[in-house]
Amino acid sequence: MTDAARRLRLLLSSFVVAAAVAGCARERETAFPDFADLVEEVSPSVVNISTVAAAPDQPARTVPESERGPFGDFFRKFFDNPPEGEDGGEQDEDQGPDAQSLGSGFVLWEDGYVLTNAHVVREASEIIVRLSDRRELPAKVVGSDDRSDLALLKIEADDLPAVALGDATRLRVGQWVLAIGSPFGFDHSVTAGIVSAKGRALPSENYVPFIQTDVAINPGNSGGPLFNIRGEVIGVNSQIFSQTGGYMGVSFAIPIDVAAKVATQLKEKGRVTRGWLGVVVQEVTRDLAQSFGMERPEGALVARVLPGSPAEEAGLRPGDVILSYNGEPLPTSSALPPLVGNSDPGESARLEVRRDGRTVTMKVQVGMLDSEDQRPAAPEKRGTLGIVVEALSPEQRRRERVVSGGALVVELEDGPGRSAGLRSGDIILTIAGNEIDGPQRLAEVVQRLTPGMSVPMLVQRNGTPLFLALEIPAAGDERR
């Protein structure tokens, strides 16, 4: 091959590489969606919701701060009180004691049913729904559900542009999503982002596996729809994590499958029924997993079985680790309540349970959650040796509702108990499945166990049962 031919071949190869690079760049550019057509198509289904609430003792309506949990003081509900001067949120001098607030919603069914957050319309004496064509219609609350923070409204209108519902279970982390709402009173504001996580458990909502996104959500977006790139609603924007009350890049939406089921029940019955097992569960830590002989921490550890509950009838007991519910694996304890709550009362559920070092399958007939005291809440993670204990008196046993056994921790020094997280005032119920009823029994049980091994210890603290991983000390190391 001549030099000229080589140069020509090299030049052609360079052109090919350059064209390929340019093509990849164009492909990357076109990978980002253009939301313009999507917004034009779905916007008519999104509504603005304004409320008036009588509040004679305060200048403006506020929604109480969410329960403090893992997010501390920074986690709060949307307050949905637009600042002065914004549309729909200004307090008029002659308005008297009434306060106005603002939120969002969307047409769920074309015959006048609108879905929003329950906290948007809570305590409202008047609700106005403003449609995309600027019509303002009074609305009444068909029903609301505080556990999911959803409310179904009814307006007198027909042939409304209802949303198309997507499948939130097929949503993948990293996919594009879009929100439309009325932040600070600015109607039909559009923001976009990606799905950051799925199945998030938040402190005050045990029955909602939230979708986490980085979509810019602010007060006034509450109750608005979260769309996928096909224009289907896959969530209801509900909460934010914020240090200021505004957008911080972490927002949460209720999956539409959960929301649609709640709305259907509200429409048909005016209330929501949920499944109930009757167990108090806690997380399986790495230490607890080792003490139960598990390869990795997973599942929901049963700390307490409520008397007369479906769980008790099925034979569940403290110390069981529920690994799956109706075939759905439980990577964490927080995955259990949404699955149970989404079950229909009377349904037969299949549980995969880790018990005494082996896996067994159990069936339980799901009950109905119909009161707050049946809500299975995760106990606080605290709890157990270098200790002084005493037997419970009959009065203490009645007051603490301890049926049998129980040794009260009266002194706590440095040692295995403090290392495990035990506190003065805790009541030790069992160690490695052995009931503890006083100092002598404690000494007998600990003496029989192998030094250096980690065993589960069940304690009661402030009326709440919880397991702790206790490392048995070598002889001479334990202090009682």
pLDDT > 90? residue 16: no
Mean pLDDT of 347-364: 94
Higher-confidence position of 336 and 463: 336
Q: What is the 3-state secondary structure (H, E, C) of 157-171?
A: CCCCCCCEECCHHHC
DSSP secondary-structure letter at 385? Answer: B
pLDDT in the model for residue 14: 60
pLDDT in the model for residue 80: 40
In this prediction the pTM is 0.66
| Nearest-angstrom CA–CA distance, 174 and 469 | 37
Q: Which of 39-43, 203-207, 298-302, 415-419 has the lowest mean pLDDT?
A: 203-207
Kind and range of the H or E element at 274?
strand 274-276
Q: Is the peptide bond before 62 cis (omega within 30 degrees of 0)?
A: no
pLDDT in the model for residue 10: 61
| Nearest-angstrom CA–CA distance, 478 and 480 | 6
| Nearest-angstrom CA–CA distance, 196 and 181 | 20
Give bridge partners of residue 176 from the DSSP assignment: 194
pLDDT in the model for residue 395: 77
CB neighbour list of residue 311: distance below 8 Å, 6 or more residues apart: 277, 278, 279, 302, 305, 364
pLDDT in the model for residue 213: 95
Catalytic residues: 119, 149, 222
Give bridge partners of residue 180 from the DSSP assignment: 190
Higher-confidence position of 83 and 315: 315
Kind and range of the H or E element at 364?
strand 358-365
> In degrees, to the nearest 5, what angle opens at C-alpha 126 toward C-alphas 124 and 128?
115
44 pLDDT band, cuts 50/70/90, is very high
| Nearest-angstrom CA–CA distance, 59 and 62 | 9
pLDDT > 60? residue 79: no
pLDDT in tens, 146-203: 889 999 999 999 889 999 999 999 999 999 999 999 998 888 999 999 999 999 887 6
Kind and range of the H or E element at 310?
helix 310-314
CB neighbour list of residue 226: distance below 8 Å, 6 or more residues apart: 177, 178, 179, 211, 213, 215, 233, 234, 235, 236, 237, 253
433 pLDDT band, cuts 50/70/90, is confident
pLDDT in tens, 83-131: 333 333 333 334 444 556 689 999 999 999 999 999 899 888 899 999 9
pLDDT > 90? residue 39: yes
Q: Is the peptide bond before 430 cis (omega within 30 degrees of 0)?
A: no
| Nearest-angstrom CA–CA distance, 417 and 426 | 11
426 pLDDT band, cuts 50/70/90, is very high
| Nearest-angstrom CA–CA distance, 60 and 185 | 16
pLDDT > 90? residue 20: no
* C-alpha neighbours within 13 Å on the C-beta side of residue 352: 12
| Nearest-angstrom CA–CA distance, 120 and 101 | 8
479 pLDDT band, cuts 50/70/90, is very low
> 6 in helix, strand or coil?
helix
> In degrees, to the nearest 5, what angle opens at C-alpha 50 toward C-alphas 48 and 54?
170
What domains lie within the chain, and their CATH numbers? Answer: 40-269 (2.40.10.120), 274-374 (2.30.42.10), 387-471 (2.30.42.10)
pLDDT > 60? residue 441: yes
Share of the chain above pLDDT 90, in %: 49
pLDDT > 90? residue 257: yes
> 269 in helix, strand or coil?
helix
Are 105 and 114 contacting, i.e. CB atoms less than 8 angstroms apart?
yes
pLDDT > 60? residue 217: yes
Higher-confidence position of 22 and 431: 431
